[in-house]
């Protein structure tokens, strides 16, 4: 494989994990430190700034556009809460 493809794949994995841990900063720090350790300090700094920018953009987008988007989709907040409860129930059943 080309070295650029491998580097791009690692960066995309880092970005994906960063976005998955959006609301859990301790997990995000551990994942970032693990995946970014092979890179030089300046690259780590750029990756951290880029990830922080994606976090901020995602949070702002959800904050400003979340309810209007639900309205466009024909969903209400209580319906979304009920659906989330069912998802948690289905995830918990195998744990019992």
**58 against 90, higher pLDDT:** 90
Q: Given a cut of 70, is residue 40 above it in pLDDT?
A: yes
**What's the average model confidence in pLDDT over 7-23?**
70
Average pLDDT in the chain = 82
pTM beyond 0.75, yes or no: no
Q: What is the DSSP string of 1-70?
A: --HHHHHHHHHHHHHHHHHHTTT-HHHHHHHHHHHHTTS-HHHHHHHHHHHHHHHHHHHHHHHHHHHHHH
| Stronger pLDDT, 23 or 31, i.e. the higher one | 31
């Amino acid at each position: 494989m080309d070295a650029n493809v491998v580097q791009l794949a690692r960066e995309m994995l880092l970005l994906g994990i960063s976005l998955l841990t959006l609301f859990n900063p301790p997990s995000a720090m551990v994942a970032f430190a693990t995946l970014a350790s092979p890179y030089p300090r300046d690259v780590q700094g750029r990756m951290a700034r880029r990830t922080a920018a994606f976090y901020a953009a995602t949070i702002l987008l959800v904050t400003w556009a979340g309810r209007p988007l639900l309205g466009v989709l024909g969903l209400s907040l209580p319906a979304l809460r009920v659906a989330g409860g069912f998802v948690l129930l289905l995830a918990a059943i195998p744990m019992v």
